[in-house]
């Protein structure tokens, strides 16, 4: 590569960091059993996408504020998703007594209703 | 080595390490604390990219508001003793496949050599003059000192409260 990261930080470096954060979030969503941990991993994915948007928006200085505005809406939406998900987790905990997704599924299979 | 590069490397390494620690920690409170660090580092990267307003929004929502929400939900659910581990036996194969694809995709990104990626590599990030780190610090300390104190006090209170609950 022509430009070293120590010499000049490019949008490419931000995209690599965003990709790694996205995959850590994806692994957290697929591998964790705790419902709140899954929601936090979802927030990691949202943050990775926001970082990607901001890095692309910073590439063109004239249209930078378009991407910035989009990310503000995205941040609000992800906070909304998290709050609704936590409410669902609380409801599931009241119903089944656990927030372990495997146990919830087993209990759902036993009773046949949610 | 510029100041921007130093901060970028610091923020990105802290972000990646704390996201991994957040996923592998056993107690939910520590997961939340590491996640707070991840969100804080993302806010720092926004600041480096020149999106100062987005950085402040990220800070207020993800580092101050959402941890309080999650902490209250953890207190309500009170899931001590429940299983907080990752899947170990059944899904370890999927972890390996995921890591393999991650390495593959990163290698693909590194080895691509066409014009589009060459342009992306060669362009430096646009930073507007008002988002310089020195000017932001000067504005925060000079014009709005109360805001900085509020942020610091909020973070300290949240961390102290969560640590007390974790014990």
DSSP A8: -
CATH number at residue B14: 1.20.120.1200
Does a structural domain hold residue A27? yes
CA atoms within 13 A on the CB side of A111: 9
| Direct distance between the N- and C-terminal alpha carbons of chain A, in angstroms, rounded to an integer | 55
Does a structural domain hold residue A3? no
Which domain range does residue A22 map to?
11-111
Per residue of chain B (167 residues), give pLDDT as tens: 677 788 888 999 999 999 999 998 888 889 999 999 999 999 999 988 888 888 888 988 999 899 999 988 888 886 555 555 555 555 566 666 677 677 767 666 665 555 555 555 555 555 555 455 555 555 555 555 566 666 777 777 777 777 776 66
- CA distance, residue B1 to nearest chain A CA (Å): 5
pTM of the model: 0.72
> B112 Cβ partners below 8 Å, 6+ apart?
none
Does a structural domain hold residue A5? no
Contact residues on chain A for B50, CB-CB shorter than 8 A: 58, 64
How many distinct structural domains can be found in chain B? 1
Does a structural domain hold residue A1? no
- Closest Cβ–Cβ partner in A54, A59, A93 for B77: A93
How many distinct structural domains can be found in chain A? 1
What value of ipTM does the predicted structure carry?
Answer: 0.90
- Closest Cβ–Cβ partner in B48, B70, B120 for A12: B120
Which domain range does residue B131 map to?
3-166
| DSSP-derived secondary structure for B47-93 | HHHT-HHHHHHHIIIIIIIHHHHHHHHHHHH--TTS--PBP-STTHH
CATH number at residue A33: 1.10.287.3510
């Amino acid at each position: 590569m022509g430009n070293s990261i120590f010499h000049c930080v490019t949008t490419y470096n931000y995209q690599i960091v965003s990709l790694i954060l996205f995959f850590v979030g994806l692994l957290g969503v697929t591998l964790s059993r705790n419902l709140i941990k899954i929601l936090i991993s979802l927030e990691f994915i949202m943050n990775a996408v926001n970082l990607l948007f901001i890095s692309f928006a910073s590439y063109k200085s004239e249209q930078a504020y378009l991407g910035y505005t989009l990310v503000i809406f995205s941040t609000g939406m992800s906070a909304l998703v998290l709050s609704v998900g936590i409410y669902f987790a609380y409801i599931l905990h009241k119903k089944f007594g656990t927030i372990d997704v495997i146990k919830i599924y087993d209990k759902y299979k036993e009773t046949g209703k949610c | 080595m510029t100041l921007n590069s130093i901060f970028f490397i610091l923020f990105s390494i802290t972000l990646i390490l704390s996201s991994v620690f957040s996923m592998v920690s056993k107690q939910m409170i520590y997961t939340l604390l590491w996640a707070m660090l991840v969100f804080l580092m993302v806010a720092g990267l926004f600041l480096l990219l020149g999106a100062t307003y987005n950085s402040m929004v990220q800070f207020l929502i993800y580092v101050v508001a959402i941890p309080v929400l999650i902490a209250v939900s953890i207190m309500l659910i009170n899931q001590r003793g429940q299983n907080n581990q990752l899947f170990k036996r059944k899904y370890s194969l999927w972890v390996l496949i995921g890591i393999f694809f991650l390495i593959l995709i990163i290698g693909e990104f590194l080895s691509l050599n066409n014009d589009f990626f060459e342009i992306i590599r060669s362009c430096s990030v646009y930073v507007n003059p008002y988002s310089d780190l020195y000017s932001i610090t000067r504005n925060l300390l000079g014009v709005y000192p109360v805001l900085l104190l509020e942020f610091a006090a909020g973070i300290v209170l949240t961390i102290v409260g969560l640590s007390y609950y974790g014990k």
